[in-house]
Structure 1
């Protein structure tokens, strides 16, 4: 088995591609050792001591290194853990089913409660995020999650490589906000949640 690596716009995060499905649907992010206890793989990565974030995507694992950590030293250790995990076909999550995949409940917390009167607008926003934004963000080793819509403002949370990326504000404002305003006139602003 061979694991490819790709850089991301966030210099602290590398994207690892094991050449097979990682998550059958959605993403799952771990931002602390305590969170990682739900996944033997995430827990092993955090046990290295130099990892501050792990994101499982459809076909990748994005790993974020602690400030000041050199990827030249950390990368071989991460690759070794990933190889051991995928070659052994161990479950991704504690208590995983026979295939090794137990998809956790969506961990998206809402920031604002959506107004039922905005249901059509919200459906348009969610569709654009799912079909146009999420695939592009996943290419960079991240994910984006809808957190709410109120009074013209869309609240989104960035995960993985995108959550700490120096260009994340520009992505939200210049990319996603422009796209949503173009297709959904009711959108006036996009904010990080």
Structure 2
């Protein structure tokens, strides 16, 4: 099994490509070992000292580190991923429980605007963000402000504010005149 790695704009996160589907459709984020109980793969990765976050995408795994250095951590992460896939265990035992504030919020009168925002995010933004080892999700729309959540390598990335403000905000404002501003809303 050959696992490729790619850097991400976030120096604390590295993207691992095992050359086979990880989750196929959808993704899952684990911020600590307790969250990871739903995933044998994430549990195995959190057993590696220095791993502080795991994001599972369609065909990739993004691992976020704490203070450890990648040259020391990367071989252990590669080993954990290889061991997992060779074991035949599932990536997820069950769907992780959503957090209480994963509910979207917006006024029903803005439903058409929200539908347009979501379509733009799904077709133009999310594929690009996935290339960087992360994801972005719609959280809400209120008074012209779009609330988004950055996940995976994008969460805590030094360039995420620029991505939100200059890239995504400009795109949404161009196609959806009702949008005045973008703000990150943590899950």
Shift of the 105–33 alpha-carbon distance from structure 1 to 2, 3 Å rule, reads: closer
* Runs of 5+ consecutive residues of structure 1 not aligned to the other structure: 95-101
Q: Equivalents in 2 of 1:27, 1:149: separation in Å?
A: 23
SS of alignment partner, residue 154 of structure 1: strand
Q: Which residue of 1 aligns with 2:153?
A: 161
SS of alignment partner, residue 23 of structure 2: coil
Shift of the 72–139 alpha-carbon distance from structure 1 to 2, 3 Å rule, reads: same
1:171-190 paired onto structure 2 within 5 Å: 171-190=163-182
Q: Which residue of 2 aligns with 1:32?
A: 32
TM-score, structure 1 normalization? 0.91
Structure 1 runs (4+) deviating above 4 angstroms are: 102-108
Q: What is the number of residues matched between the two proteins? A: 185
How large is the RMSD of aligned CA atoms in angstroms? 1.6
The question of whether the paired residues in 2 share the 8 Å contact of 1:51 and 1:65 is answered with: yes
1:82-121 paired onto structure 2 within 5 Å: 82-94=81-93, 102-104=94-96, 109-110=101-102, 113-121=105-113
- Alignment partner of 1:10 is 2:10: yes
- Alignment partner of 1:124 is 2:116: yes
Cα distance, 1:85 vs structure 2: 1.0
Q: How big is each residue's C-alpha offset from its partner over 1:87-128, in whole Å with a ceiling of 9 and x where there is no partner?
A: 22211122xxxxxxx554666834762111111000000000
Q: Which residue of 2 aligns with 1:98?
A: none
Q: Equivalents in 2 of 1:133, 1:108: separation in Å?
A: 25
Q: Equivalents in 2 of 1:174, 1:72: separation in Å?
A: 33
The question of whether the paired residues in 1 share the 8 Å contact of 2:104 and 2:138 is answered with: no
The question of whether the paired residues in 2 share the 8 Å contact of 1:134 and 1:143 is answered with: yes
* Runs of 5+ consecutive residues of structure 2 not aligned to the other structure: none
The question of whether the paired residues in 1 share the 8 Å contact of 2:38 and 2:96 is answered with: no
SS of alignment partner, residue 118 of structure 1: helix
